[in-house]
Amino acid sequence: MNEITTKIDETNQSGSGAFIPYLMAGDPSPEKSLDYVRALAAGGADLIELGVPFSDPVADGPTIQAAGNRALETTNNLDEVFKVVRKARREIDIPIILMSYYNPILQFGELEFLKKCRETGTDGVILPDLPPVEGNGFFESARESDIGVPLLATPDTDASRLKEISEKTTGFLYLVTRPGTTGAKSDLDESTGSAIRSVKDGVPEGLPVCAGFGLSTPKQVNRVIRAGADGAIVGSAIVVRVGNGEEPEKIERFVGELKKGTKI
């Protein structure tokens, strides 16, 4: 069991869902993004997801695309992202997970990337554009390195496909609560709860399921946790505040309110 799963389990055992906020590394600068990482931790984050800036972010909506464009001005390669992680891990001890597209890792080198994860205290990586059937070598190397690789599923993922994804994922299964790209949503469909319960029934015992895409309020966070999700992921609702120039103290308070929604 890697650090990601361990942390989620510990949080669940305390009577709370895990709260996983997202930031774009380097937005608006490496130094300022580190201040925001500190704010997430101080606000009650159980794990932190850091985006890797990329020029062609096909799974991201306009808010995170804009954050990536800002970050590319100063943080345009994985070495710069790892510098942010290394500095963050000197001060916080919760798991940090990168959200990246596969191309930067391919260019960096898979094994070198995993080595750098270990050196910097990076606990996992999410790769939305690496199909499970094509990533076997990377998944196995990551497992041997104890680096979690959460894979994505949707409410429409059929049982056989869900089984395949679950067998290859480590850390947690990332349930995309709605189709399309990232971005805050005013409300959740009535089917969200049933989708969470269905996916939970289809994954191996001991594999956490965390829900994301579209969550932006404490009420929505609470809804997915009460439906059975082991954790909730919030990205665009935080990133837009960073883009608007909100100070870390305000982000910390906002994260604190979202964390309250994870109470069961």
Residues belonging to the active site = 49, 60
Tokens standing for 259? 């964390």
User: Closest by alpha carbon to 36, among 51, 52, 20, 25?
Assistant: 25
Query: Scanning the structure block, which residue is given the tokens 């969550």?
Result: 215
Tokens of 236: 């665009």
Q: What tokens appear for 127 in the block?
A: 């790769």
Burial 122-133 (b: 16+ CB within 10 A, else e): bbbbbbbebebe
Angle, helices 236-243/62-71, rounded to nearest 10 degrees = 50
Tell me how far apart the alpha carbons of residues 157 and 58 are, in angstroms, rounded to a whole number.
Answer: 19
Q: Cα torsion at 169, 172, 173, 179 (round to 10°)?
A: -130
Look up residue 115 and give its DSSP letter: H
